[in-house]
């Protein structure tokens, strides 16, 4: 609103409280600014913001108008006018955004700068501006500058800034004057965690006298995103069946004994972690069993995923009994079925890391054991 009576221009000093938050490639600034004029009418102020400032809004008492003026080569100018003159202390809220690439190795914190009049009142002192900036922490980003303090000391913050910050934490910088500070930015390396694990792997192996074997395997693979999972089988003759979540599946062949699965994101429930179940059955052959006694080496599929628990039921032919079992899988101390015949061996392993489960089974004919 234009005033018929010319008003004297004012020289302003600012005390700014600024909260800065990084979101979606932008530095969002929310500021509470207290301005004090040493002279003049106090009717208007012109602020210089960064040239790429966007989304500018102004709110405050007694404001009659605010507008963006022609920019300079370095700044975007904002003029604020008030209704009442001779009020030399003003408080208003200012919001703006600055585009910020997350890949940049330097970030700038720039407080609003007063664009002082070209012809200030004679002998008027130039007041000093101060800004307290609180930068909300960006997860994984390290920002450094001599004036930047890690961890926000809430007793240093004003009530307004503390309220805006809420429970968030971050960094603070106190700027005397109006020159921006440049922060050195570096993203810290992330510790990669397992994208998937096998919570339970259950196997059943049936061995007959001529060395033929039938193996069934059931894996419960826990994962929260799409997953490519591979299995390195022993020298299998034929894959007899394969189910993924109880549905028939034809896995991809990645070599003579390696197969690959492509899992979609599983559906989680309130009681169970998201998981995909895989059931596979295959046949293979080893040397025929000796008529009296001997040993046989047996192996299970290899996966790179961490296995929390492995259970293996191994059945050798009737008429034989195991005399010893050696390998990286142990005999179960608490077998789930204690009524199985002597030709059945229950094995288990906790916390299997990138190794192929396998055992050497020493056996003999039951009649030999009875006569001895």
168-184 mean pLDDT: 89
What distance lies between CA 17 and its chain's CA centroid?
Answer: 31
More confident residue, 128 or 203: 203
Distance CA 186, CA 125 (A): 41
Q: How much is the pLDDT for 2?
A: 46
Give residue limits of the domains in the chain: 12-187, 196-371
pLDDT of residue 369: 54
Collapse the DSSP code of 20 into the 3-class scheme (helix H, G, I; strand E, B; otherwise coil) and give the result: strand
CB 193 within 8 A of CB 169: no
Give the model's confidence band at 198: pLDDT under 50 very low, under 70 low, under 90 confident, else very high: very high
- CA–CA gap between residue 42 and residue 261 (Å, rounded): 72
Q: Which CATH architecture has domain 196-371?
A: Sandwich (2.60)
Distance CA 133, CA 168 (A): 14
Tokens 């200012």, residue?
94
From residue 98, alpha-carbon distances to 26, 29, 49, 53, 229 in Å are 5, 8, 10, 5, 43
Rounded average pLDDT over 322-327? 93
Distance, CA of 225 to CA of 277 (rounded, Å): 15
Mean pLDDT score of the chain: 89
The dihedrals phi and psi of 34, each to the nearest 5 degrees, come to -110, 120
Q: Which fold has domain 12-187?
A: Immunoglobulin-like (2.60.40)
Q: What is the mean pLDDT of residues 281-296?
A: 93
* Mean pLDDT, rounded, for 349-366: 92
Q: Which residue has the higher pLDDT, 318 or 155?
A: 318
Residue 62: φ, ψ to 5°:
70, 10
Give the predicted TM-score (pTM) of the model. Answer: 0.67
Same fold, 12-187 and 196-371: yes
pLDDT of residue 47: 95
pLDDT digit string, tens, across residues 83-109: 999 999 999 999 999 999 999 999 999
């Amino acid at each position: 609103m234009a005033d018929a009576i010319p008003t004297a221009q004012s020289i302003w000093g600012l005390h700014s409280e600024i909260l800065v938050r990084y979101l979606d490639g932008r530095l969002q600034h929310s500021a509470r600014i207290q301005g004090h004029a040493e002279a003049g009418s106090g009717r208007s102020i012109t602020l210089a913001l960064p040239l790429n400032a966007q989304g500018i809004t102004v709110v405050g008492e007694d404001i009659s108008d605010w507008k963006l003026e022609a920019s300079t080569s370095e700044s975007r100018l904002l003029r604020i006018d008030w209704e009442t003159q001779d009020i030399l202390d003003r408080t208003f809220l200012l919001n703006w955004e600055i585009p910020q690439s997350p890949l940049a190795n330097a970030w700038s914190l720039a407080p609003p700068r007063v664009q002082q009049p070209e012809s200030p009142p004679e002998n008027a002192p130039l007041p000093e501006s101060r800004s307290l900036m609180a930068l909300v922490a960006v997860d994984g980003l390290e920002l450094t500058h001599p004036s930047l303090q890690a961890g926000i000391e809430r007793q240093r913050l004003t009530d307004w800034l503390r309220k805006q910050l809420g429970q968030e934490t971050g960094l603070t910088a106190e700027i005397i004057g109006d020159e921006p500070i440049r922060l050195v930015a570096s993203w810290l390396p992330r510790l990669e965690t397992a994208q998937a694990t096998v919570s339970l792997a259950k196997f059943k192996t049936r061995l007959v006298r001529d060395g033929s074997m039938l193996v069934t395997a059931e894996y419960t693979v826990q994962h929260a995103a799409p997953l490519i999972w591979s299995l390195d089988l022993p020298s299998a003759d034929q894959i007899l069946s394969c189910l993924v979540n109880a549905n028939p599946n034809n896995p991809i062949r990645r070599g003579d004994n390696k197969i690959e699965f492509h899992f979609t994101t599983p559906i989680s429930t309130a009681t169970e972690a998201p998981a995909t179940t895989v059931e596979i059955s295959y046949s293979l052959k080893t040397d025929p069993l000796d008529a009296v006694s001997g040993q046989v080496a047996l192996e299970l599929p290899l996966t790179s995923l961490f296995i929390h628990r492995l259970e293996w039921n191994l059945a050798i032919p009737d008429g034989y009994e195991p005399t010893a079992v050696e390998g990286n899988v142990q005999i179960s101390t608490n077998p789930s079925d204690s009524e199985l015949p002597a030709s059945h061996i229950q094995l288990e392993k906790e916390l299997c890391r990138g190794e192929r489960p396998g055992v050497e089974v020493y056996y003999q004919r039951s009649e030999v054991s009875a006569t001895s």
